Amino acid sequence: METVSFRPAIFFKEGAANVFQEQRKRLLNQLPFAEVHHVGSTAISGSITKGDLDVNVRVKRQEFSKAVKLLEAMYSINQPNNWTATFASFKDDSVGMDFGVQLTAIGSSEDTFLVHRDILLSHPELVEQLNILKMKYEGKLMDEYRKAKSDFFAKLEADAL
């Protein structure tokens, strides 16, 4: 079973920025109709992270199926059990760091990555709360951590409404 470990995001900042720029260019070359955003902990100053780079690719609903096919040709499918009609995820283990793409249809219920990132960027106290939560799961099972993180963001969304 996979366990989780964290380090300050600053250790990954330069590498994440470089990989993001490379992959953003690659993504926009294949999906010029998409928005491509750096999201996740490596995009948030003061955060701790597993050291992975998360990218949110946003497309219009009518472009979603086309985007899935294009991304399937570029990357490996990730967590297909979480896929919906408006969300899909991919990964690439060959870019020098753990790299994930979250494809969302703009305006769908799964289209929350930018909202989460922007709330954290404007509220350092929430970054600290998330860091504390993460440290509770240091060395513990990844699935347990993912559930706790999901609960944190669900509460964040509820409080933002």
Q: What is the largest CA-CA distance in the chain?
A: 41
| pLDDT in the model for residue 121 | 96
Distance CA 156, CA 151 (A): 9
Condensed to tens digits (0 to 9), the pLDDT of residues 92-147 reads 989 989 999 999 999 999 999 999 999 999 999 999 999 999 999 999 999 999 99
**100 domain residue, yes or no:** yes
Across the range 77-94, mean pLDDT stands at 96
**70 domain residue, yes or no:** yes
Number of independent structural domains in the chain = 1
**67 domain residue, yes or no:** yes
Going across the sheet that includes 87-92, the strands are 35-39, 53-59, 99-105, 87-92, 76-78
Q: What is the overall mean pLDDT for the chain? A: 95
**153 domain residue, yes or no:** no
pLDDT higher than 80, residue 160: no
| pLDDT in the model for residue 112 | 95
**59 domain residue, yes or no:** yes
Q: Which domain, by its residues, includes 47?
A: 7-142
**120 domain residue, yes or no:** yes
**61 domain residue, yes or no:** yes
User: Model confidence at 30, in pLDDT bands (50, 70, 90)?
Assistant: very high
**147 domain residue, yes or no:** no
* CATH value at residue 89: 3.30.460.10
Across the range 27-49, mean pLDDT stands at 97
Tokens at residue 51, please?
A: 């050291």
pLDDT higher than 90, residue 157: no
Distance CA 72, CA 135 (A): 34
Interior/surface letters 36-62, b for 16+ CB within 10 angstroms, e for the rest: bbbbbbbbbeebbbbbebbbbbbbeee
DSSP 8-state secondary structure symbol assigned to residue 84: B
pLDDT higher than 70, residue 161: no
